[in-house]
Copies of this chain bind each other. A is one copy, B any other.
Amino acid sequence: MAKLPRREPYPVHDARRYLEPGPIVLVSSAHAGARNIMTLGWHTILEFSPSLVGCMISRGNHSHRLIQESRVCVINLPTTALTDETVKIGNTSGAEIDKFDAFGLTAIEADAVDAPMIGECHASFECRLHEDALVEGYDFFIFEIVAAHVAPVPAHPQTLHYTGGGVFMVAGKTISRKSLFRPGML
């Protein structure tokens, strides 16, 4: 089982550092005594401030209803330490099992929303539903990240990036091109 990383408060406007590279995330939610986790690859940053992120959460997922009712969730960032758990979460239904119990994950109370964080993840972003105009037509939720918790080390976690077909790309080395940026673009 993965250890619980020591996480610290993190500025919400800089969530892009962890989400823009496109990792698979684990979305945790709760409503009326039920809780769940889903694996999600279809998300995008939409704004720095307010810190907005859009997520396509298909109505076929048990989490869709929990989030629509509670209007909150937590976006958790797993690394390769949780590869198998991440896949198993995506291949089971919260209508049948409690995924925290089934996969030995630690539910930690969030600061600002009534949904559990996953303690084993590198980061957790607490989210409130900000815009539901495209939920009906596209299952697309826009959340505002209202609190963030990130492990300061490693600086560049080994995140998982899904390509379909059961195959993940693992985050590789980092390169800087800071010298090519205009100051206002950094």
Q: With contacts A17-B163, A22-B20, A44-B42 known, is A87 near B181, CB below 8 A?
A: yes
A65 CB to closest chain B CB (Å) equals: 19
With A177-B87, A180-B87 known as contacts, the answer to whether A44 contacts B44 (CB < 8 A) is yes
The answer, yes or no, to whether A162 is at the interface (CB within 8 Å) is yes
Instruction: Give the residues in chain B near A182, CB-CB below 8 Å.
Output: 91
1/0 per position for A135-152, CB-CB distance to B under 8 A? Answer: 001101010000000000
Q: Are B180 and A175 closer than 8 Å at their CB atoms? A: no
Contact in complex: B83, A140 (CB < 8 Å): no
- A134-B170 Cα distance, complex, nearest whole Å: 32
How many angstroms between the C-alpha atoms of A41 and B137 in the bound complex?
A: 24
Per-residue 0/1 for A24-40: is the Cβ within 8 Å of any B Cβ (1 yes, 0 no)?
A: 00000000000000000
Across the interface, which residues of B come within 8 angstroms of A18, CB to CB? 163
A21 at the interface (CB under 8 A from B): yes
Taking the closest CB of chain B, its distance from the CB of A166, in whole angstroms, is 3
Q: CB-CB < 8 A to A181: which residues of B?
A: 87, 91, 166
A176 within 8 A of B: yes
Whether A168 contacts B177 by the Cβ 8 Å rule is: yes
- Proximity bits, A98-122, B CB within 8 Å = 1, else 0: 0000000000000000000000000
14 A-B residue pairings within 8 Å (CB atoms): A14-B164, A17-B163, A21-B161, A42-B45, A43-B44, A44-B44, A83-B175, A91-B185, A156-B169, A166-B176, A167-B177, A167-B178, A168-B176, A170-B173
Q: CB within 8 Å of B: which residues of A? A: 14, 16-18, 20-23, 41-47, 52, 54, 56, 80, 83-84, 87-88, 90-91, 131, 133-134, 137-138, 140, 142, 156, 158, 161-182, 185-186
